[in-house]
């Protein structure tokens, strides 16, 4: 069962690379924000899996809960910051 948790965590890390592509090469700033949000929600699950691998779930579950809060607050603050920002329109299409 531990081996299965390990391979699930590896697959989750592989899926994070797809979201990381959108976070690096995204056409506009808000596309990067989508990628960061998706990576954060996968990280919560990854922390729980790491807790099962180390056998100390009762410690890692608090870290996962705190990370969920931090991810939510970071995305909310960043999207409020880009509220009034004009000029996103030109970046949003290629060329």
Partner 1 sequence: MDILAIAFLIIGLIFFTGGAVGIIRMPDFYSRLHPAGLLDTLGILAMVLGMLFYTLHHFSMDTLIISLKMLLIVFFVFLSSPTATHSIVDAGMRAGLRHWKKKDRR
Residues near partner 1, by CB under 8 A: 1, 4, 8, 11-12, 15, 18-19, 21-22, 27-28, 30-31, 33-35, 37-38, 41-42, 44-45, 48-49, 52, 57-58, 61-62, 64-65, 68-69, 72, 75-76, 79-80, 82-89, 92-94
Please say which residue, 45 or 54, places its beta carbon nearer to partner 1.
Answer: 45
DSSP 43-68: HHHHHHHHHHHHT-HHHHHHHHHHHH
Please say which residue, 54 or 79, places its beta carbon nearer to partner 1.
Answer: 79
Q: Closest approach of Cβ 54 to partner 1, in Å?
A: 14
2: tokens are: 């531990």
| Residue with tokens 């004009």, as numbered in its chain | 86
Q: Closest approach of Cβ 34 to partner 1, in Å?
A: 5
| Residue with tokens 């509220």, as numbered in its chain | 83
State the Cα–Cα distance between residues 82 and 21, nearest whole angstrom.
21
State the Cα–Cα distance between residues 35 and 23, nearest whole angstrom.
5
């Amino acid at each position: 069962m531990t081996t299965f948790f390990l391979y699930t965590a590896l697959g989750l890390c592989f899926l994070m690379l797809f979201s990381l592509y959108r976070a690096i090469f995204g056409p506009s700033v808000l596309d990067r924000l989508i990628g960061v949000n998706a990576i954060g929600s996968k990280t919560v699950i990854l922390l729980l899996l790491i807790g099962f691998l180390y056998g100390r779930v009762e410690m890692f579950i608090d870290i996962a809960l705190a990370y969920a809060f931090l991810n939510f607050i970071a995305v909310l603050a960043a999207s409020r910051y880009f509220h009034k920002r004009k000029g996103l329109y030109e970046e949003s299409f290629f060329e």
